[in-house]
Amino acid sequence: MKSKIGARVGSRRPIKMWSEGGSFVKGVALGGVFYLLLSLLGSFSPNAKSGSEDLHQHHHVQAQSNDNLKQLSESQTQELKDQVRVYCVIMVQPKILVYWAAAVGTWSKHCDKAVFYTSESSKALEAVDLQERDGWARLCKALKHAYENAGDLRWFFVAQPMTFAIIENLKYLLLTKDPSEPFYMGNALKSGELEYVAYESGIVLSYEALKRFVGVLDDKNKCPIRVNRLWKLSEDKQLAMCLKYTGVFAENGEDAHGMGLFNGKSLDALIKESMKNNPKNVVEGCCSDFAVTFNGMTPNQMQVMMYGVYRLRPYGHDFHDLLMFDPPEGSDND
């Protein structure tokens, strides 16, 4: 009898489980399906962090491949060119006048609009005088000013004085991204649970991201401008926190090989590292062909970069990119 029962129980067990524990199993199955769906959708839209904090990972932003660009018509590419224009927010101070002057005379000429924001005015160079000592408050004010004076520009690039940027490569990265989506990218780092874009390698914000930032700015709970010294974070982390409240998260800018485009160190420093880490492949292991920024560049090195990036090349190595960006008018070092 026992064995009979045993056998019967054995054969019925799965059916029994299904009918009795059925709702549980169904619940798990359904939940699993929804979870899969959400994460799939999430991986297509760049700002999808609608999932929980624990699913948090870097989104890796890359430039559009040439194949996709091939499909576009003349007017479409012109539209893209217009959309991808950049407003450069360059944070300076009179005490580092040489760096300020270097930025004016070199890479910033390639911005569609380059505005210098200073802590105090200087007779030598033009800037928006924020009259602000505090670094974080300066950044807040500068970003707010940029938002209010954007005109029809939709992308914002925040740089420090020792940063050298190649705006064409920034545009290439942003080319088919919609600025009415919140993008916040650069060299994305992690500090504890907070992911933020490092200041020194340049911060990129879409119009939507900047709009949200300005919206939450000076909310005492989320994004105060005046922060108690005890609780003070570095400016880039502070920015990340504010943006996080608005649902905007840091993304890492990379090339098609996954190599970072935003460098917090100088070219020489990166080459030195690469000589140690990739002695047989120093150059390709160092840095991307489409790098956007380098940091810690002296004014003289910036002149060398202008020449090295925009002029020096081996005869016969010409490229046929799908968009053409003209050199700035009246410039002699590019």
Partner 1 sequence: VAPDRGVFAFSETLAGDTLNRLPTNCRADTCAHTNTSGQFSVQSACVNLTSPTNSSQTTRILCWIMTGPKNMVSRTKHIKETWAKRCHIVLYMSSVRTDFPTVKLNVSEGREHLYWKTIRAFEYIYKEHLDNADWFLKADDDTYVIVENLLYMLSNLDPEKPLFLGRRFQPFIRQGYMSGGAGYVLSKEALRRFMKGFATGACTHFSSIEDMALGKCMETMKVEPVDTRDVKARQTFHPCPPELHLARQFQKNPWYLDYEYYPPIQGPGCCSDFAVSFHYIYAVQLYALEYLAYHLRPYGYKYRFLSRENKYFNGTTKQLVLEKDTQLPVEAGNPAE
Question: In whole angstroms, what is the distance from residue 225 CA to residue 214 CA?
Answer: 11
Choice from 52, 315, 329, 330 touching partner 1 (CB under 8 A): 315
Choice from 118, 157, 158, 168 touching partner 1 (CB under 8 A): 168
Spatial neighbors of 83 by CB under 8 A, at least 6 apart, are: 154, 179
Size of the site for partner 1 (CB under 8 A): 54
**Other residues' Cβ atoms within 10 Å of the Cβ of residue 262:** 28
Nearest CA-CA partner of 80 in 171, 147, 182: 171
> 274: exposed, middle or buried (C-beta count within 10 Å: 0-12, 13-18, 19+)?
middle
| Closest to partner 1 by CB, 231 or 319 | 319
| Closest to partner 1 by CB, 103 or 305 | 305
| Closest to partner 1 by CB, 69 or 139 | 69
Site string for partner 1, 46-65 (x = CB under 8 A): -----------------x--
DSSP secondary structure of 120-186: S--SSS--EE-----HHHHHHHHHHHHHHT-TT--EEEEE-TT-EE-HHHHHHHHTT--TTS--EEE
> 186: exposed, middle or buried (C-beta count within 10 Å: 0-12, 13-18, 19+)?
buried
By CB under 8 A, which span of 21-29, 51-59, 85-93, 302-310 interacts with partner 1? 302-310
Residue entry with tokens 């008018």: 329
166 touches partner 1 (CB under 8 A): yes
Instruction: Identify the three-state secondary structure at position 229.
Output: helix
| Closest to partner 1 by CB, 234 or 303 | 303
| Closest to partner 1 by CB, 20 or 284 | 284
User: In the chain, what's the furthest Cα-to-Cα distance?
Assistant: 103
Choice from 112, 134, 181, 334 touching partner 1 (CB under 8 A): 334
289 touches partner 1 (CB under 8 A): yes
Residue length, the chain? Answer: 334
By CB under 8 A, which span of 22-30, 119-127, 135-143, 296-304 interacts with partner 1? 296-304
CA dihedral 200, 204, 163, 196 (to 10 degrees): 10
| Closest to partner 1 by CB, 252 or 293 | 293
> 177: exposed, middle or buried (C-beta count within 10 Å: 0-12, 13-18, 19+)?
buried
283 touches partner 1 (CB under 8 A): yes
By CB under 8 A, which span of 43-51, 185-193, 204-212, 286-294 interacts with partner 1? 286-294
By CB under 8 A, which span of 138-146, 182-190, 243-251, 270-278 interacts with partner 1? 270-278
129 touches partner 1 (CB under 8 A): no
Q: Where along the sequence are the contacts to partner 1 (CB under 8 A)? A: 63, 66, 166, 168-169, 171-172, 267-268, 271-272, 274-275, 280, 282-284, 286-291, 299-301, 303-327, 332-334
